[in-house]
Structure 1
Amino acid sequence: MITAAAAGLATGLTLIVAIGAQNAFVLRQGLARRHVGAVVAVCALSDVVLIGAGVVGIGTIVERAPVVLTVLRWLGVAFLAAYGVRSLLSARRADGLEAASRGASTRVSAIATAAALTYLNPHVYLDTVLLLGSVANQHGVDGRWWFAVGAATGSVIWFSGLGYGARAAHGLLARPRAWQVLDLAIGVGMLCFAGGLAIG
């Protein structure tokens, strides 16, 4: 059981640690000190739900419904492109830190954005539901749930560390120019993620 949990932890971390749109958003929210707990909770709990869905076999539905992934793909492209453009426009101003300190983003919008970056990404269904679900089921009836616990634990550890670690590093971005650079990097990154989704 411990072996299955350790395998789940390692596999889960391998899949989520790579920098993507969701991680970039968690990082930015942490650095801005805005609704970090809510964003971390949405991302981590979403992974727990998706991992559980994969273990119970929902991955077969994902395999047999490519049209759903296609729709999610193009919705994701549109969302990421819009988010990227918004970040680039924000980078033109030198008041990024001041705006962040005022809490320009509401809790509802932060949660909605985190959810959109999670569920509008077709890779989350391929990686978290289909791939993790398939690997989990190779550990037998009991072992698969220990694998899922390990993978879910990895997700909670990662998003908590990323969000609250960035929150602790807030002082590194005390200058407005640093926020401009961050917004520019995130904007370019989001547009690249959108392009990557668009070309499959």
Structure 2
Amino acid sequence: MEFSALINGAILGAALIIAIGAQNLFVLRQGMARDQVFIVCLLSSFIDGFLILVGALGLGSTIAAFPWLVPWAAWGGALFLVGFGLMSAWRAIWPKPLIAEADQKIVSSRKKAIMLTLAFGLLNPHVYLDTVVLLGSIAAGYEFAARIHFVIGAIAASFVWFFSVGYSARMLTPIMKNPAASRVLDTIVALMMFAVAANLLLGQVAAI
């Protein structure tokens, strides 16, 4: 039972995390730029792991009991995504090589990388719906011992995914030294951010 729960947690966790979204694109871009990759991957994994854990411990039902929290999270997340999308659009209009040369300073500070990672991990209400509510409700169906294994499986999938994305992105280094390639990537990132933000806002408008 415990092993089955572990596998189910890993599969379900991976299925929810792997879907291309704002957080994954951010990690991918950081990986391509070789910009604070370890801290971004580690913090993204810890955020997902923490949310999965608190969901399994029952926070999902608490959030469901306070539905007024969701609109606030949606509006705040949409504003952040629009802002980051505009930054990406600016870089797409005036592109520079995404990959720094060996003797150049790293693109951003650790503090900036941490703040952006926290924003992408915590300001998107879809993250809470996937990790806290959905995975939490599924985990609640297991007995306590099996639930722990389910959580371990889901958290392990999160760590494997984010570190795989962050570090495998380096294989694209030769391509991303071209400013035109950076323009394409930033255009995709901007469009994705605007699309996710629009989806959040349209959902809130439809709910009014």
TM-score range, shorter chain: over 0.9
| Residues in 2 aligned to 1:14 and 1:97: alpha-carbon distance in whole angstroms | 29
| Residues in 1 aligned to 2:149 and 2:9: alpha-carbon distance in whole angstroms | 8
Q: Using a 3 Å threshold, how does the CA distance of structure 1 residues 97 and 126 change in structure 2: closer, same or farther?
A: closer
Q: Which amino acid aligns with 2:9?
A: G
Classify the secondary structure of the residue corresponding to 2:19: coil
1:109 shift after superposition: 1.0
2:206 equivalent in structure 1: none
> Is 2:50 the partner of 1:40?
no
1:6 equivalent in structure 2: 7
1:67 shift after superposition: 1.7
1:94 shift after superposition: 3.1
| Residues in 2 aligned to 1:146 and 1:99: alpha-carbon distance in whole angstroms | 41
2:117 equivalent in structure 1: 114
> Is 2:132 the partner of 1:129?
yes
| Residues in 1 aligned to 2:175 and 2:99: alpha-carbon distance in whole angstroms | 14
Superposed CA offset, 1:136-179 (max 9, x none) = 12121110110000000000010010001112332221211100
1:95 shift after superposition: 1.7
Alpha-carbon RMSD across the aligned residues, in angstroms, is 1.4
Q: Which amino acid aligns with 2:197?
A: A
Counterparts of 1:11-160 in structure 2, within 5 Å, are 11-97=12-98, 102-160=105-163
> Is 2:191 the partner of 1:188?
yes
1:68 shift after superposition: 1.6
Report % sequence identity.
38
1:86 shift after superposition: 0.7
1:107 shift after superposition: 1.3
Which deviates more from structure 2 when the two are superposed, residues 164-173 or residues 3-12? 164-173
1:99 shift after superposition: 6.7
| Residues in 2 aligned to 1:97 and 1:153: alpha-carbon distance in whole angstroms | 30
Q: Is the 8 A contact 2:99 2:176 kept in 1?
A: no
TM-score, structure 1 as length reference: 0.95
Q: Which amino acid aligns with 2:120?
A: L
Question: How many residues in Structure 1 have an aligned counterpart in Structure 2?
Answer: 200
Q: Which amino acid aligns with 2:158?
A: S
Classify the secondary structure of the residue corresponding to 1:139: coil
| Residues in 1 aligned to 2:63 and 2:198: alpha-carbon distance in whole angstroms | 23
Q: Is the 8 A contact 1:97 1:179 kept in 2?
A: yes
1:102 shift after superposition: 4.1
